[in-house]
Amino acid sequence: MKHYQILIIGGGTAGITVAAQLKRKDKNLNIAIIEPSDKHYYQPAWTLVGAGTFDFKDTERNEADYIPEGVEWIKDKATDIRPESNQVATAQNGDLGYDYLVVAPGLVMAPELLPGLKEAMDKGVVCSNYTDPEHTWEVLKNFKGGNAVFTQPTTPIKCGGAPQKIMYLAEDYFRKNGLRDKTNVIFATPGTVIFGVPDFAKTLNKIIHDRDIIFKPFYAPIKIDPEKQEIYFSYNKPGDSGNCGVTEGNPIGEEMTGDTEIKLHFDMLHLAPPQAAPKFIQNSEVSIQEGPGKGWVDVDINTLQHKRFGNIFALGDVAHLPTAKTGAAIRKQAPVVVENLLKLLQTEKVGTASYQGYSSCPLVTGYGKMVLAEFKYDNVRDSDPLISKFVDTSKEQWSMWLLKKYGLPFMYWNLMLRGKA
């Protein structure tokens, strides 16, 4: 059986960044990455692809070009983690042994969790920037008016702000193309507020009000009828069952179809599909077995060390952390994993580096406008001290749009994945 000093599951943002930083600290480390994909995508730009302002081809690179020098690439799928015996099972390479394991396979799309979505996904007027942003752009261009519905599931998702970013861009697009007066732009979310951090929520609430966007909180999607172009929601406001405020003859044509069930016709539907940890993670002992975090990797929210298996760390979308699943979060998580793992390797005691929950959501609010929402655990605002000196990131800014479109992709490919940022 092949054995590695450090084995990393996942060659996405988290896995590559950690491997690159480890090699920069100590080029003699024996590291391997398990990753089946040939291509590596810069997914944050898919929002812009869906609005026709970024080329999909520019979000794609060869995985081989980003595996750090001196790191072995095992082009395979992990199928099981056996922490008791320090082994990872793979589809083609059998079992692999490790001294230390970094778990970073990301999450997977699970459209099957929403009845009707699998059949409807990326066809006709149903689209998702999460799976096929080029189709989103086609849907936008073909839209002639009616109900443009934007929604998200009750599961955790990558970048919680993404479902509303495309909504703001679409609204702007309809306005620029003379369609706005015959369009209802509807944002339906299972959440209670437009955004969890008050400073940014204030800005977004004003945008929603000023641009006549219909905001529907407590709306959890439960099924889709692709033939009839209808989506059903469960109204889940605590203590408010049976009173959804839906009246007959309402402008968007909502209908009550049960005590708390609402039916809504759509002429365009954009949604984030339900998302989940990969099956091999859910079925492994490294995941939380019961309760709210069931299926996600059980790590200390500050050290990112596994709570039960000391030689395992996890970061990125698969880790059970009470913050948004974003690339920006990984940028702050990776150095913590690297420092704590190296300290453990050298002294048998985990390091003191601590992740405070930093994440950021570049909220594109229209063509040429963006609010940079940065926050940490407990929804506390946590703005970059340098950027904050020059701009108020809680307001719509042209400079932040430039950062999103040009600055962040450059930083991602040239600095972050090279272990330099």
Residues annotated catalytic, as ranges: 159, 361
**Using alpha carbons only, what angle is made at residue 326 by residues 337 and 349, rounded to the nearest 5 degrees?**
10
Q: How far apart are CA 220 and CA 233, in angstroms?
A: 5
What is the SS3 assignment for the chain?
CEEEEEEEECCCHHHHHHHHHHHHHCCCCCEEEECCCCEEECHHHHHHHHCCCCCHHHHEEEHHHCCCCCCEEECCCEEEEEHHHCEEEECCCCEEEEEEEEECCCCEECHHHCCCHHHHCCCCCEECCCCCHHHHHHHHHHCCCEEEEEECCCCCCECCCHHHHHHHHHHHHHHHCCCHHHEEEEEECCCCCCCCCHHHHHHHHHHHHHCCCEEECCEEEEEEECCCCEEEEEECCCCCCCCCCCCCCCCCCCEECCCCEEEEECCEEEECCCEECCHHHHCCCCECCCCCCCCCECECCCCCEECCCCCEEECHHHECCCCCECHHHHHHHHHHHHHHHHHHHHHCCCCCCCCCCCEEEEEEEECCEEEEEEEEHHHEECCCHHHHHHCCCCCCEHHHHHHHHHHHHHHHHHHHCCCCC
Q: Other C-beta atoms within 10 Å of 214: how many?
A: 17
Q: Which of 150, 146, 140 is nearest to 173 (CA)?
A: 140
